[in-house]
Amino acid sequence: EVKRSGRNGWQFFTPTMQIVSEKRHQLSNKLAAAIINNEFTVYYQPIIDLNTNRISKCEALVRWVRNGKQIATDEFIALAEETGRINEIDRFVLATATDFVANLTERFNYPLELSVNVSPRIFSCKDDSLNKWLELITNASRKINVTVEMTERLLIEESERIMWVLTKLKAIGVTIAIDDFGTGYSSLSYLTKFPIDIIKIDQSFIRQLGQQTIPESLTEAMIGLCHKLSLDVVAEGIETPEQLSMLKLWQCDFGQGYYFDRPLDAEVFSERIRTQSEAKFSHNK
């Protein structure tokens, strides 16, 4: 690699940087083809109501399988954001998950809500792309209850356009959640400025519960703050019973994480809902 970089006269790239950049370039081309070739699927992770222990929502998470190999979601999402492909992916996920959840709700007579991620890019792209997404969301919320998850770093930038979109979403009946709460660079004042309903506490806090006192104090205080502001709280990344019992003690509203379920493919998730709906049935008798 060193020789080749010498011959090619690369000046700014070190050999590793060159490999990384070539890999990214290749992946970026494959990403474009992946949309056309239907290489994306959607997985669903249960979100549990901690008061009733039932699945009340599912988060739709995109998966990319290429030649039998799964590509890390964080990795290709970041790339798709840079290249602008993310909007197409988000529309695919939204449309697929809406049909799926609407179908499950009907089939098992089970009230299930959908939570989808949206890239901050949608707010800064052309009207056309934003309108397509808004149209899909509008159609979705006619059939099911939809939550849109967005990261907090969005809410420090371009606030006028974002305010317009959020107000529109609220008018349609969409629930708005802040994802990865506590990790972004932001002030707390946005919590009251924008029409937010739900806070998802980032898994980096939850992971440390039962191990370190500072993240414990922070998590407890975040839940308290949210409740004072009438926001619901979801804890992300719950993996142990100890983490869960602390969160329940602090009256956290919802939980999500490997302790309950990993993200599941459509078939396995459907089974999960079937079992839950039967549990509900026998309980009511």
The binding site for Mg ion (CB under 5 A) comprises: 117, 149, 179-180, 236
Select from 138, 227, 239, 274 the one that contacts ligand C2E (CB under 6 A): 239
Residue type at position 79: L
179 binds ligand C2E (CB under 6 A): yes
Q: Of 69-77, 100-108, 242-250, 267-275, which part binds ligand C2E (CB under 6 A)?
A: 69-77
Q: How many helices (H) and strands (E) does the chain have?
A: 11, 9
CB-nearer residue toward Mg ion: 236 or 261: 236
Q: Which DSSP state fits 38?
A: T
How far apart (Å, rounded) are the C-alpha atoms in residues 254 and 115? 13
Is residue 47 within 8 A of residue 77, CB to CB? The reply is no
Considering only 27, 77, 144, 252, the residue that binds ligand C2E (CB under 6 A) is 77
The verdict on 147 binding ligand C2E (CB under 6 A) reads no
Q: What are phi and psi of 88, to 5 degrees?
A: -65, -40
Question: Which of 137, 194, 263, 272 forms a contact with ligand C2E (CB under 6 A)?
Answer: 263
- Of 98, 75, 4, 90, nearest in space to 40 by CA: 90
Among 124, 196, 201, residue whose Cα is nearest residue 157: 124
Taking the complex as a whole, the smallest distance from the CB of residue 172 to ligand C2E amounts, in Å, to: 19
Task: List CB contacts of 167: < 8 A, sequence separation 6 or more.
Answer: 195
Residues 81-100 that bind ligand C2E (CB under 6 A): 86, 89-90, 93
| Contact footprint for ligand C2E (CB under 6 A) | 45, 61-62, 73-74, 77, 86, 89-90, 93, 117-119, 149, 179-180, 203, 236-239, 256-258, 263
